[in-house]
Amino acid sequence: MTPPRGAPGGALVAALLAMGTGMAVPAAALAATVGPVTARVHRLLDPPGPGRHARYGLALAAVTLLPVTASVLVTAFAGPLVRHAAALG
């Protein structure tokens, strides 16, 4: 089975295995890591587009509203439960 287009080659896998085990990295394998690493650095340094920025904003709003909503619901349901418990006993 052949790897899909854009998949790391054998030299890249050999370099990653060598780095993970602490062995010396062959020069050919080390050179194979330059392309993917450079592409990753460029992706990290590029600012996010407007769509991604909007998604991050919506995710932040959802995460912020979740604890607020939960505390309001707990407070709203706690009163009737306390009154009911007091009536029982």
My answer on whether 18 and 34 are in the same domain is yes
Query: Scanning the structure block, which residue is given the tokens 């006993």?
Result: 89
> pLDDT band at residue 65, thresholds of 50, 70 and 90?
very high
Closest to 17 in 3D by CA, of 9, 25, 28: 25
Query: How far is 18 from 12, CA to CA, in rounded Å?
Result: 10
- Give how far the C-alpha of residue 32 lies from the chain's centroid of Cα atoms, to the nearest Å: 26
Are 24 and 41 within one domain? yes
- On the CB side of 68, CA atoms within 13 Å amount to 5
Residues 62 and 42 in one domain: no
Residues 35, 74 within the same domain: no
- What total number of domains does the chain contain? 2
Where do the H-state alpha helices sit in the chain? 10-21, 27-32, 34-45, 50-88
pTM: 0.41
Enclosing domain of residue 70: 49-89
pLDDT in tens, 3-52: 555 555 676 677 777 777 877 766 776 676 677 778 888 888 888 889 98
Q: Are residues 13 and 38 in the same domain?
A: yes
